[in-house]
């Protein structure tokens, strides 16, 4: 099996490289726009520059590499940035997917496409795959349009992996997440405001990477929800972080989402029912407490 990965410099891309690069009988081709940030970590990793918004480049690279599977993780994911820069968001999140889907169909490559809980309006939690989309933001609208582009491409073999609030540590580069933000703030005795009126099923990046691999490995067909096993608010997550690191939880101020002014609307409730992925794929995500422990181990090793 030969897997071509887009967005290899991102959080999920890096976790997929870590998971796949030494697997027997799996050849990995990492691609990203710009330089390979993982060259120092994985010197034997094959890397090909690829701008997925360039149709000719997409066709050229896929025809040259001829992967059996493509895992598409590259996207514009900052929700407020998407709201403020709508044209760039559409180009990266929709047009690029149209190019990739068409090329995969022509070359008989199975496509696993990453999507999001933000295609829903937030009126319900623990959503199944057949829930009706109704996005509140331009980011959500772009990701729903990308899903429809995948589903509507004639002759394409595809799986869509929707996920929720992905957190984890980068191998190369730096990126904050709720766990690291709370730990760093409380360790400096800084009080922080954390919302308690939004519900998610937080997803450890390593678990999402494994779910994507399970989809690609069996050339799965259809939509799969890949999230964590627990429905939590950010405030509840923050309290777990404080407890794990034995930090002062009284510095956490419980607030509602009206406290913050943000360009893009967020769905108040999402979170996924993952029964289909558990049943069909053997997907078994870690609890949030287990995720905190892994991040603690990873950051300690990096210090």
| Domains identified in the chain, total number | 1
Residue 293 lies in a domain: no
Can you tell me the distance from the alpha carbon of 148 to that of 101, in angstroms, rounded to the nearest whole number? 11
CA pseudo-torsion sign 125, 128, 134, 140: positive
Report if residue 125 sits inside a domain.
yes
pTM for this prediction: 0.96
Domain-embedded: residue 109: yes
In a domain, 178, yes or no: no
Contact 283, 277 (CB under 8 A): yes
For 260-289, the pLDDT digits (tens) are 888 999 999 999 999 999 999 999 999 999
pLDDT the model gives residue 16: 97
Mean pLDDT on 33-50: 92
CA 75 to chain centre: 9
Query: For residue 136, what are the domain limits?
Result: 2-165+202-227+271-285
> CATH number of the domain that 82 lies in?
3.40.50.720
Distance CA 120, CA 135 (A): 5
Assess if residue 195 is contained within a domain: no
> Is residue 291 included in any domain, yes or no?
no
Classify residue 172: in a domain, yes or no.
no
Cβ–Cβ under 8 Å, residues 37 and 173: yes
> Over 80: is that where the pLDDT of 173 sits?
no
Q: Helices (H), strands (E): how many in the chain?
A: 11, 11
Mean pLDDT of 91-115: 98
Give the C-alpha separation, 156 to 103, whole Å. Answer: 9
**Given a cut of 70, is residue 303 above it in pLDDT?**
no
244 is a domain residue: no
pLDDT digits (tens, 9 = 90+) for 186-243: 999 999 999 999 999 999 999 999 999 999 999 999 999 999 999 999 999 999 999 9
Reported as a pLDDT band with limits 50, 70 and 90, residue 290 is very high
User: Can you give the length of the chain in residues?
Assistant: 303
- pLDDT > 90 in the chain, percent: 90
**Residue 174 — pLDDT band, cuts 50, 70, 90?**
low
In the predicted model, is pLDDT for residue 175 greater than 90? no
């Amino acid at each position: 099996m030969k897997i071509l990965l887009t967005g290899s410099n991102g959080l999920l891309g890096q976790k997929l490289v870590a998971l796949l690069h030494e697997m027997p009988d799996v050849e990995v081709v990492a691609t990203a726009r710009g330089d390979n940030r993982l060259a120092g970590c994985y010197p034997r990793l094959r890397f090909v520059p690829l701008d997925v918004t360039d149709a000719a480049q997409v066709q050229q690279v896929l025809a040259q590499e001829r992967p059996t599977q493509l895992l598409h993780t590259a996207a514009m994911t900052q929700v407020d940035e998407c709201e403020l820069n709508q044209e760039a968001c559409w180009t990266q999140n929709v047009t690029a997917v149209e190019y990739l889907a068409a090329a995969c169909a022509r070359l008989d490559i199975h496509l696993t496409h990453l999507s999001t809980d933000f295609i829903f309006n937030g009126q319900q939690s623990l959503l199944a795959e057949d829930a009706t989309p109704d996005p509140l933001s331009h980011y959500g609208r772009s990701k729903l349009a990308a899903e429809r582009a995948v589903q509507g491409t004639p002759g394409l073999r595809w799986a869509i992996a929707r996920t929720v609030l992905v957190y984890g540590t980068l191998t190369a580069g730096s990126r904050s997440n709720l766990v690291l933000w709370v730990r760093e703030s409380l360790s400096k005795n800084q009080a922080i405001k954390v919302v308690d009126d939004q519900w998610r099923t937080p997803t450890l990046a390593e678990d999402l990477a494994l779910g994507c691999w399970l989809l690609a490995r069996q050339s799965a067909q259809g939509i799969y929800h890949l999230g964590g096993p627990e429905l939590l608010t950010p405030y509840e997550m923050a309290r777990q972080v404080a407890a794990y690191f034995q930090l002062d939880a009284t510095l956490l101020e419980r607030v509602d989402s009206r406290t913050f002014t943000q360009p893009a609307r967020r769905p108040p409730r999402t979170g996924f029912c993952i029964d289909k992925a558990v049943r069909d794929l053997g997907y078994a995500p870690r609890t949030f407490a287990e995720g905190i422990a892994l991040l603690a181990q990873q950051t300690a090793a990096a210090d």
